[in-house]
Chain A
Amino acid sequence: MKKATLTVALLATAVFAGSAQAAWVPDKPVEFIVTAGAGGGTDTFARTVQSIIVKYKLMDAPIVVLNKGGGSGSEGFIYGSSSPNDPYKVTFGTNNEYLLPLVAKMGFSADGLQPVAAMALDEFLLWVNDKSPHKDAKSFIAAAKKPEGLKIGGSQSKDTDQTLTSMITAATGAKFTYIPFKSGGEAAVQLAGGHIDANLNNPSENLGQWKASMVRPLCIFSTERMAPGAKVTKDMGWSDIPTCKESGIPISSYQMPRTIWLPAGAPADAAAYYAGVLARVRQTPEWKTYIERTSQTDSFMSGDGLKFYINQDKAKALEVFKAEKWTVQ
């Protein structure tokens, strides 16, 4: 499946790269709306894109970055879709754009925005405290099957982390108490302090603690191991982390796309323009450094390929939401 999306994505890139010099060009400041607070994954993503665009002068119009992370990011989505035809409001998010409205009355509709591109897929890992008795995912799951269960901390409620927790429970029968924190960073510190048994953070959220041997990864929710690279700690690098599937949690892949949106009524030319700019952002060495440093999977989707991906991702999540009775209406 991944291969298919990649091919579609590459095709789409080629098409859009061709039409990058399309009719529409911004002639006033463009707002980059970040649907998260400063310092989080989405913020770093948006600001990295901004810094690359500025450095390589990929856009003539100036960029204004606005953090609107209130209400789990809904503040940004509401703002981003508030003027339905405005091509000057570019919203940065994750899959929360189309998943949040399913689980709570957030005040915005997923149809209010059109997808422009997805630029990276962030991975999810199962992390434990370094002093944890569980050496691998199997023994961790076995411990969680005991009546008292284990505590998993994560970022926000009914978002990616809790959905994955629920998927693990459904797949293995393990019992977890999910404890929501404000951000993945908080969950990382709570795990380093030994206050929770595990978290499901993205690589970049736990990197600092892993380097210092305060936490360690048990497995990665991906079809294959990560690409070989430098060691992170004395004896382990990213590629040494087994996939969760090979270590006994039958979930083959769980990823979160980093997405970019425009208001639904914005002209197609504008969407094509931004997709073209972003495609060029992706070809810079700075982007490669960003992907490597945050250990994300490089992937670029736009157009129909992206719509296809979104529908699939939504359908998968909806199964979990329905099983957990989280859906609204």
Chain B
Amino acid sequence: MQNPSAVLVSRFVAEVALATVTAAIGAVVTLGALEFGTGWGDGGPQPGYFPFYIGVIVMLASGATLVEAILNREQHRATPFLRREQAMRILAFFGPMAGFVVLAAVLGLYVALIVYLTATMMVQGRYRLWRALAVSVGSAITFYLIFEVWFRVPLLKGPLEALLKIH
């Protein structure tokens, strides 16, 4: 295996990448604002005025951040942003989390949280299946009681609930 403290991304790369992304967002905002008047009418600013200039300022400030990063490149290149071991830890946590969101969007929050909690408990906490299931199903029921029964706030439900006629 490679050295766990090997630097995957340097601070310089991260700075430049993020500034580029924010500049792009600024551009999108500016373009989106063009749909409406961006001037100053006799009743004050038109609907597109603020979004337009906000977009422009985002781009300018991102540009300045980019220049700052380039000016400090020596120092930034030497500073690690992400090491291999950190990346592994982040992925181990973020991966299941993103999976949870995908699952929730398709199957609803209840199913997703049972799967997610069971899986993370078993893989990361090395719990047995029955304990993991007990905790995750238990929390699903708790959520159901608090949100749906007591406070009457419906949570996202999927096809499974429809099949079981749980409302």
Contacts and interface: CB of A to CB of B under 8 A. Distances in A.
Decide if A and B touch, CB cutoff 8 A: yes
A65 B153 CA distance: 9
A212 interface: no
With most chain A CB atoms within 10 A of its CB, the pick from B152, B154, B165 is B152
A64 interface: yes
B43 interface: yes
Contacts of A65: 152
B126 interface: no
Interface in B75-116: none
Contacts of B165: 28
A31 B154 CA distance: 9
Contacts, number: 13
Q: What range describes how many residues of B lie at the interface? A: under 10
Contacts of B43: 177
Interface in B37-96: 43
B154 A28 contact: no
The prevalent SS among residues of B at the interface is loop
Interface in B127-154: 152-154
Contacts of B167: 28-29
Contacts of B152: 29, 62, 64-65
Interface string A46-84: 000000000000000010111000000000000000000
A28 B166 CA distance: 9
A65 B152 CA distance: 8
Nearest to B154: A64
Nearest to B47: A157
Interface string A1-43: 0000000000000000000000000001101000000000000
Interface string A149-182: 0000000000000000000000000000100000
Contacts of B154: 29, 31, 64, 66
A2 B98 CA distance: 57
Nearest to B152: A64
A198 B153 CA distance: 40
A250 to B, nearest CB: 27
B165 to A, nearest CB: 8
B32 to A, nearest CB: 13
Contacts of B153: 64
A31 B167 CA distance: 11
Contacts of A177: 43
A28 B152 CA distance: 13
A90 to B, nearest CB: 14
Interface string B6-43: 00000000000000000000000000000000000001
Nearest to B165: A28
A31 B157 CA distance: 14
Contacts of A62: 152
13 contacts: A28-B165, A28-B167, A29-B152, A29-B154, A29-B167, A31-B154, A62-B152, A64-B152, A64-B153, A64-B154, A65-B152, A66-B154, A177-B43
Interface of B: 43, 152-154, 165, 167
Interface of A: 28-29, 31, 62, 64-66, 177
The 3 closest A-B pairs by CB, nearest first: A28-B167, A64-B152, A29-B167
